[in-house]
């Protein structure tokens, strides 16, 4: 997993509230056994014209994109920071939703409402897959959303836990955000839970060499 320290990218706005995981990645795609190839499937039922969504077995081939879908608009092209509405990622616990967002090229997702911007499981899955979820107070989120509507980049400094929006008029605005320290440290080091555990590989091997063998239940 790539470490996340400081990141600057173009921002796009999808200001829909209560976006559930079936909208993010429709259930028919969950039969895929791979963990890759989900980027083209993100918002498949909204992103493409009716009948144009990719098949689960061939995600790279699709029909015409829907011109009225916010992330298909010219100003959203090339964006790697996604500004979303409240309660993003609600619904089922499928980790595929985070895979789809990340594999579509987004590194950061910014939502309004501290403690209510993201569904808890989506937020946890995001941290463990290198996708940074940021929750801001409504007033701060509104300032960022307004700037993004006019075209804006943003810089996220995970060391300082700040997000700075670079507005089209050349001015900047910086906002602090909170992130659990254990998740911040994993992202800074580029570690998921498994990689973090493997940092203790030597100690685990020492223990395994001295641990008594399990004899099983006696008859």
Q: Which CB contacts under 8 angstroms, 24+ apart, belong to 32-39?
A: 32/56, 32/57, 32/59, 35/99, 36/99, 36/103, 37/103, 38/96, 38/99, 38/100, 38/103, 38/104, 39/100, 39/103, 39/104, 39/105
pLDDT digits (tens, 9 = 90+) for 82-119: 999 999 999 999 999 999 999 999 999 999 999 999 99
Q: Which of 25, 171, 167 is nearest to 94 (CA)?
A: 25
Three-state secondary-structure class, residue 134:
strand
Strands 162-166 and 172-176: antiparallel
Asked whether residue 217 carries a pLDDT value surpassing 70, the answer given is: no
Give 69-75 contacts, CB < 8 A, sequence gap 24+. Answer: 69/43, 70/12, 70/13, 70/14, 70/15, 71/12, 71/14, 71/43, 71/47, 72/47, 75/12, 75/151
Binning pLDDT at 50, 70 and 90, where does residue 42 land? very high
Q: How does residue 218 score in pLDDT terms, banded at 50, 70 and 90?
A: low
Q: Domains (ranges, CATH) in the chain?
A: 6-193 (3.20.19.10)
Query: CA–CA separation, 169 vs 147, rounded Å?
Result: 9
Torsion of CA 16, 19, 22, 23, to 10 degrees: 10
pLDDT-based confidence at residue 210 (cuts at 50, 70, 90) = confident
Q: How far apart are the first and last CA of the chain?
A: 47
pLDDT of residue 78: 97
- Any idea how long the chain is? 219
Q: Name the residue among 16, 39, 18 with its Cα closest to residue 118.
A: 18
pTM beyond 0.85: the answer is yes
């Amino acid at each position: 997993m790539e470490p996340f320290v400081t990141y600057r990218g173009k921002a796009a706005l999808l200001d829909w509230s209560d976006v559930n995981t079936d909208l993010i990645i429709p259930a028919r795609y969950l039969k895929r056994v791979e963990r890759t190839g989900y980027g083209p499937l993100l918002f498949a039922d909204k992103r493409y014209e009716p009948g144009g969504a990719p098949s689960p077995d061939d995600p790279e081939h699709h029909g015409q994109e829907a011109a009225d879908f916010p992330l298909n608009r010219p100003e959203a092209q090339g964006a790697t920071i996604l500004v979303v509405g409240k309660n993003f990622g609600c619904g089922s616990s499928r980790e595929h939703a985070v895979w789809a967002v990340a594999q579509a090229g987004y590194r950061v997702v910014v939502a309004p409402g501290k403690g209510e911007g993201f569904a808890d499981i989506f937020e946890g899955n995001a941290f463990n897959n290198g996708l940074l979820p940021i929750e801001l107070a409504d007033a701060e989120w509104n300032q960022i959303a307004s700037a993004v509507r006019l075209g804006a980049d943003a810089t996220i400094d995970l060391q300082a836990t700040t997000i700075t929006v670079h507005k089209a008029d050349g001015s900047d605005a910086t906002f602090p955000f909170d992130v659990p320290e254990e998740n911040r440290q994993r992202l800074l080091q580029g570690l998921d839970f498994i990689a973090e555990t493997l940092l203790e590989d030597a100690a685990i091997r020492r223990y395994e060499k001295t641990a008594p063998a399990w004899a099983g239940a006696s008859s």
